[in-house]
């Protein structure tokens, strides 16, 4: 009983701040979509597609951060602070390099990038204007993302939460005055939304930097040894982290291709998808909290040498994920009109598409939530990064993407059926992933 209480205490101490942070970030994205929705379906679609570029970038950062968090969690469990500082600094350098690449492409060829996803000129114009400006936030976002995950992995989920709150306040305020031209500022539309995002990212990074340098954080240490990497360190880092980076990169690219498939159906379908995804991200916050908590707790447990408890902890998290996923999914499917009250300015056609999509995506939510904990929490938390890479990439590229394009291009199906075909990825992942969990081969101690 005492051990169970300690488990749930630790789980809640990590999961609640992460869930709150995720809620704030998702609320911020939803707020952006709400404000932009007043500018028309073409603008919603354009900004949504431009954000697919940002999403793809953050997936690479997410792969880098969560891959390194597997190592950091175990080093933190054995109190090897110098090694975890090296891991964090190396991950930050990767995020900066990737951020430079994405920023350069978004500034130089924004229209060409958006035109790869849709051929509507008005959508391309709106998306390109937003993308060319918002890309200046990418490098800052990458640094914040990596260090936020590292802070959580070393027992400090509060600082990323505070950073998200500050970012939300800054973004909401500057979006409002710059999109609509308040307080004497000009009405900049989508460009104003992009500038608001840049300001918010700087504010968030300021909070995280303060937390690392001001307090006695395990991430803080002498700079010179922190950036000295020997070949054995790089080999160990890449062995664990590279599969996760590849996993998230190609998974993220798969999600972008889903957007391309949805865009084939039409501009209104694309706009409806952006609205529904914003709502789904709000609903996903508890799952994100659980999955990240699972990664940290299982990683710390294995790092302490307590391998026997890794499997029962993983099963416990999966059960909680199934319960939460079912409840939230039923809410989305049964009460779409409640969720859509956040978007009062949608056209009648887009609104009706959103109602239909929420019913379908609510049903799939159980599988998505369960898989997030299975892959990100259990398999990665146990150091089984290579298998989770094969599982996710195979499910997306061999199942989800081909079925989505078949439904949109060949069969000319309505958007809800295209979404349902794409979600076959989740069915595949559950079946194969559970077999791996039961085998216990995912429990790996990093040397």
Q: Consecutive sets of 10 residues in the chain, 447 residues long: mean pLDDT of each?
A: 73 79 69 70 80 84 83 82 88 94 94 88 88 91 89 82 89 89 87 89 91 79 82 85 83 84 85 84 84 84 82 91 91 90 82 91 89 89 86 92 93 91 94 93 78
- The per-residue pLDDT for 118 is 82
Q: Are 392 and 254 in contact (CB under 8 A)?
A: no
Full-prediction pTM beyond 0.85? no
- The per-residue pLDDT for 116 is 86
- The per-residue pLDDT for 437 is 92
CA angle 307, 311, 315 (to 5 degrees): 155
Helix, strand and coil percent figures for the chain, each rounded to 5: 85, 0, 15
Instruction: Round the CA-based radius of gyration of the chain to a whole number and report it.
Output: 21
- The per-residue pLDDT for 405 is 94
- What is the number of other CB atoms lying within 10 angstroms of the CB of residue 58? 20
| Closest to 38 (Cα-Cα) out of 334, 384, 344 | 344
d(CA 109, CA 104): 8
CA angle 224, 141, 176 (to 5 degrees): 145
d(CA 23, CA 113): 29
Going by C-beta distance under 8 Å and a sequence separation of 6 or more, which residues neighbour residue 50?
A: 110, 114, 127, 128, 130, 131, 134
Domain residue limits, the chain: 2-439
- The per-residue pLDDT for 401 is 94
Q: Are 247 and 63 in contact (CB under 8 A)?
A: yes
- The per-residue pLDDT for 69 is 82
3-class secondary-structure state, position 228: coil
Instruction: Please list the alpha-helical segments (H only) found in 266-384.
Output: 267-283, 285-303, 310-334, 336-339, 348-372, 380-381
């Amino acid at each position: 009983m005492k051990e169970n209480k300690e488990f749930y205490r630790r789980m809640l101490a990590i999961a609640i701040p992460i869930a709150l942070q995720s809620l704030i970030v998702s609320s911020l994205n939803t707020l952006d979509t709400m404000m932009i929705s007043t500018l028309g379906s073409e603008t919603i679609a354009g900004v949504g597609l431009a954000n697919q570029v940002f999403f793809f970038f953050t997936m690479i950062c997410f792969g880098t951060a969560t891959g390194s968090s597997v190592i950091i969690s175990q080093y933190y469990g054995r109190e090897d602070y110098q090694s975890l500082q090296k891991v964090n600094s190396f991950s930050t350098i990767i995020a900066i390099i990737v951020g430079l690449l994405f920023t350069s492409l978004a500034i130089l060829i924004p229209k060409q990038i958006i035109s790869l996803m849709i051929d509507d000129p008005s959508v391309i114009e709106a998306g390109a204007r937003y993308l060319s400006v918002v890309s200046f936030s990418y490098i800052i976002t990458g640094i914040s993302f990596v260090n936020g995950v590292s802070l959580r992995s070393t027992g400090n989920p509060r600082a990323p939460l505070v950073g998200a709150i500050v970012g939300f306040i800054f973004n909401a305020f500057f979006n409002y005055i710059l999109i609509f031209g308040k307080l004497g500022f000009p009405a900049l539309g989508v460009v104003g939304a992009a500038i608001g995002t840049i300001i918010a990212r700087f504010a968030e990074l300021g909070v995280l930097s303060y937390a690392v340098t001001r307090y006695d954080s395990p991430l803080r240490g002498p700079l010179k040894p922190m950036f000295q990497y020997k070949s054995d360190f790089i080999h160990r880092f890449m062995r664990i982290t590279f599969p996760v980076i590849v996993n998230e990169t190609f998974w993220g690219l798969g999600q972008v291709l889903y957007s391309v498939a949805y865009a084939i159906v039409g501009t209104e379908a694309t706009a409806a998808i952006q609205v529904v995804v914003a709502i789904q991200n709000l609903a996903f916050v508890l799952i994100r909290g659980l999955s990240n908590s699972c990664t940290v707790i299982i990683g710390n447990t294995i790092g302490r040498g307590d391998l026997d408890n890794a499997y029962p902890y993983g099963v416990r998290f999966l059960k909680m994920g199934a319960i939460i996923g079912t409840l939230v999914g039923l809410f989305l499917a049964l009460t779409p009109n409640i969720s859509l009250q956040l978007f009062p300015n949608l056209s009648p056609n887009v609104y009706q598409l959103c109602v239909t999509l929420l019913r379908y995506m609510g049903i799939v939510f159980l599988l998505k939530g369960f898989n997030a904990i299975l892959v990100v929490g259990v398999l990665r938390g146990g150091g089984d990064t290579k298998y989770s890479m094969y599982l996710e990439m195979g499910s997306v590229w061999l199942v989800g993407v081909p079925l989505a394009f078949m439904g949109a291009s060949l069969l000319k199906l309505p958007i809800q059926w295209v979404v349902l075909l794409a979600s076959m990825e989740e069915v595949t992942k559950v079946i194969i992933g559970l077999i791996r969990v039961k085998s216990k081969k995912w429990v790996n101690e990093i040397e």
